[in-house]
């Protein structure tokens, strides 16, 4: 019989395998990767030239080189933060958002309201 902690650990491992990110995950990223993810989250999908142009528009203090951008994009893709479609200048990057659990509220609320009305 699996304990509570074993089941919790299994859930955590399942989440890691799903890939994708949540807003809370951004806190753990190094500043340069976090800046790129903020750019990506504004548009959700960007081409490599669009990313280069966005990096050029960053404040000088935050701006990174194209070599550092390439390295960051490779890291973010390897860690499943981003999905890369294509290669090189033709690459398109998409944010890999984690699927959210559905809510049962809408189903339960109407049945609860209906049973309350029937009681009265």
Which pLDDT score is estimated for 94?
A: 93
Higher pLDDT, residue 12 or 34: 34
- Own/partner pairs, 65-71, CB within 8 angstroms, 24+ separation: 68/32, 69/36
- CA-to-CA dists, residue 33 to 26, 41, 53, 114, angstroms: 9, 12, 16, 50
Q: Render pLDDT for 85-115 as a digit per residue (tens, 0 to 9).
A: 988 888 999 988 765 455 555 566 667 777 7
SS3 61: coil
pTM score: 0.63
In angstroms, the CA 45 to CA 92 distance is 7
Task: Specify the range with the lowest mean pLDDT, choosing from 33-47, 64-78, 92-106.
Answer: 92-106
Is 36:93 a contact under the CB 8 Å cutoff? no
In angstroms, the CA 59 to CA 50 distance is 16
Ranges of each domain in the chain: 4-119
- The answer to whether domain 4-119 has CATH 1.10.10.10 is yes
């Amino acid at each position: 019989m699996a304990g509570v902690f074993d089941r919790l650990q299994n859930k955590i491992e399942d989440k890691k395998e799903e890939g994708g990110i949540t807003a809370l995950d951004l806190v753990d990223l190094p500043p340069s990767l976090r800046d790129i993810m903020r750019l990506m989250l504004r548009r959700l999908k960007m081409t490599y030239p669009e990313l280069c142009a966005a990096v050029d528009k960053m404040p000088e203090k935050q701006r990174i080189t194209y070599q550092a951008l390439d390295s960051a994009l490779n890291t973010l893709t390897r860690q499943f933060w981003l999905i890369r479609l294509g290669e090189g200048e033709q690459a398109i990057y998409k944010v890999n958002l984690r699927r959210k659990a559905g809510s049962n509220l809408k189903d339960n609320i109407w049945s609860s309201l209906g049973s309350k009305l029937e009681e009265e």
